[in-house]
Amino acid sequence: AQSVTQLDSHVSVSEGTPVLLRCNYSSSYSPSLFWYVQHPNKGLQLLLKYTSAATLVKGINGFEAEFKKSETSFHLTKPSAHMSDAAEYFCVVESGTYKYIFGTGTRLKVLA
């Protein structure tokens, strides 16, 4: 069975400091992994995706994530947080089927 665990429900950072949102997955197959962002009262927007190509994936708005098979992790990072990054972030795993399995989300707060 596939599953995904987002290790922090809330993360607070100061503007201009690095962001790290952690995600571990469990999958019987070679997975596809995604990060989505949801701004307040909005739909979900794709940040980036891993589909068995390069293990370091670059996304929109300066975000990137590294697929580490040995650690079953797919952590999301950004070198310098901006106020507009405040949102909820979802890690998603898909493997062997066409269904997404969502993590429970990490709410990112950016302090001025």
Partner 1 sequence: NAGVTQTPKFQVLKTGQSMTLQCAQDMNHNSMYWYRQDPGMGLRLIYYSASEGTTDKGEVPNGYNVSRLNKREFSLRLESAAPSQTSVYFCASRRRDAGTYTEAFFGQGTRLTVV
Query: Which residues contribute to the site for partner 1 (CB under 8 A)?
Result: 9, 34, 36, 41-46, 49, 51, 90, 94, 98-100, 102-105
CB of 46 to partner 1, least distance (A): 5
* CB closer to partner 1 out of 70 and 99: 99
* CB closer to partner 1 out of 17 and 39: 39
CB of 83 to partner 1, least distance (A): 22
Beta-strand runs (E) in 1-112: 3-6, 10-14, 19-21, 23-26, 32-38, 44-50, 56-58, 64-68, 73-78, 87-94, 101-102, 106-111
Do you know the residue count of the chain? 112
CB of 64 to partner 1, least distance (A): 16
CB of 49 to partner 1, least distance (A): 5
* CB closer to partner 1 out of 85 and 94: 94
* CB closer to partner 1 out of 32 and 72: 32
Structure tokens at 12: 């607070």
Distance, in Å, from the CA atom of 54 to the CA atom of 70, rounded to the nearest integer, reads: 15
- Nearest Cα neighbor of 35 from 90, 72, 93 is 90
